[in-house]
Amino acid sequence: MPHLQPSRCQSSAGAGFRSVPGRQQLMTATGTVWWGNQRVGTLREDQHRLLRFRYDRSWLKRGGFAVSISLPVALGEQEQDAHSYFSGLLPEGETRLRVCRQLGLNSDDDAGLLLAIGGDCAGALSVLPDGITPEAEASAAESLSPEDFQQMILTRGARSPFRSERRQRFSLAGAQEKFTIVQDRAGYRLPNAALPSTHLVKFETVPHVCFAEYMATRIAGSLGLPTVAVDYCVLPESAAPGQPPQPYLMLERYDRLQDPASGGMQRLHQEDLTQALAYPSSLKYEYEGGPSMADIVTLLRESVDRPVNAVTQLRDWQIFNVLIGNWDGHAKNLALLYQTDSSVPSLTPFYDLISIEYINRVGGARYAREMALAVGGQYTPERIGIQAWRTFASDLGVPARALLDRVRAMASALPDHAQQALADFQHRHHRHPVHNELLRMIERRCRWVLQALG
């Protein structure tokens, strides 16, 4: 989520963790990186408290994939600076502070935090302390009753019904309140290194934020943008008598694949674009020194499968952000996904789509009203006119006329798609007076963009 002015990263994210021994009891600042049951390499903290990574010889011999574009296997067993990639797996903001308190860690202890909670990360890798293997985690899977799961929703993942003495290890990068869960025919379980999570659960941290993210994702999908699969859910009244409805989102993980042989879930590798470009998470916003649109386009053209298609998707994503009022489309909200049979990634489905303009209006939020990634050098929405769009076309390496035609087409189509998505939502769920404000806001923004293009 974006920041409360004037600084970024003021929102919080959540995951269900048990209080565990602190860093001093881990006895080491080194760990092993795993892909399933195979050793990928060794991670250690250097004297400057930065993370260093070395590929394992066995991983190199079998032709294993690169952990990141920023950590090439071509360097062999040479130790590499890996702090941006591995620290990018960790939660941010208030969530990080809370988890560190529960674990007895200093809030700036990246190595200790990753070794404590790195068993189920974004992507295919697990990071475990020396001496702990994924096989050892297999018996630690915790089943959750429906009541257990509801309790985790009510406490936003801060409390979970751990019953074993083993430490649960799962981490999600970012500043939103969320946790991961396994949902299958067996019900709900907590993930670990041996049991990949299948879903993300997000909470109502700001009034109507779940509605705003759900709607933005559904509208984008109806326009043809690839998006994550998301369900809007509400806890039953019996779970919290006397309390207002508790909305939450269930998002299917796009970096998971069902194994047809075993029926279990397989992790797919992914990395966000700050990791791929070797930027720390603290520099995910362009105007604070993070990647620019031109940097991202260069990466896509040099590194992904079907780069022309990827740049086209990136174009539509940024146009959609402007039209929907999503000022928080930063480089960590774009990621690369590696299929099991390919070392060449593609863009992931789009995630964390939300109208910041809307929740500022109806949710009482005061998030910064500036683009996370500039459009043609412009961060202020009202300054994104025809010249900014032409410069944006140049950044993408596409003809300006074609780009302007696409902006006009999306701005013309978006209000009807939003109206249909709202009707579908109200048919399936409920009506609320402020829901219609989203439609009115979209209509105003699209009308303004069309007028600015002349």
The segment(s) of the chain belonging to CATH 1.10.1070 are 271-453
Q: How many CB atoms lie within 10 A of CB 227?
A: 22
Q: What is the pTM of this model?
A: 0.89
| C-beta separation of 336 from 273 below 8 A | yes
| C-beta separation of 396 from 311 below 8 A | yes
Structure tokens at 249: 């989102």
- What is the C-alpha separation between 211 and 249, in angstroms, rounded? 9
- What is the C-alpha separation between 323 and 449, in angstroms, rounded? 8
Q: What is the pLDDT of residue 190?
A: 87
- What is the C-alpha separation between 76 and 35, in angstroms, rounded? 17
| C-beta separation of 360 from 317 below 8 A | no
Structure tokens at 390: 């032409």
- What is the C-alpha separation between 377 and 379, in angstroms, rounded? 7
Q: How many CA atoms lie within 13 A of 342 on its CB side?
A: 12
| C-beta separation of 117 from 170 below 8 A | yes
Q: What is the pLDDT of residue 153?
A: 86
* CATH number assigned to the domain with residue range 271-453, chosen from the 4 options 1.20.120, 1.10.3210, 1.10.1070, 1.10.357: 1.10.1070
Nearest to 100 by CA among 25, 154, 23: 23
Q: Which residues lie below 8 Å from residue 416, measured CB to CB, with a gap of 6+?
A: none
Could you list the pLDDT tens digit for every one of the 454 residues in the chain? Answer: 544 332 222 222 333 222 233 444 444 589 999 998 999 999 999 999 999 999 999 999 999 999 999 999 999 999 999 999 999 999 888 778 888 888 899 999 999 999 999 988 899 999 999 988 888 776 556 788 888 888 888 887 765 555 443 444 455 555 457 888 999 887 888 888 888 899 999 988 889 999 999 999 999 999 999 999 999 999 887 777 888 888 999 999 999 998 887 778 899 999 999 999 999 999 999 999 999 999 999 999 999 999 999 999 999 999 999 999 999 999 999 999 998 877 899 999 999 999 999 999 998 888 899 999 999 999 999 999 999 999 999 999 999 999 999 999 999 999 999 999 999 999 999 888 899 999 999 999 999 999 999 8
Alpha carbon 136 to its chain centroid, in Å, reads 28
Q: Which residues lie below 8 Å from residue 263, measured CB to CB, with a gap of 6+?
A: none
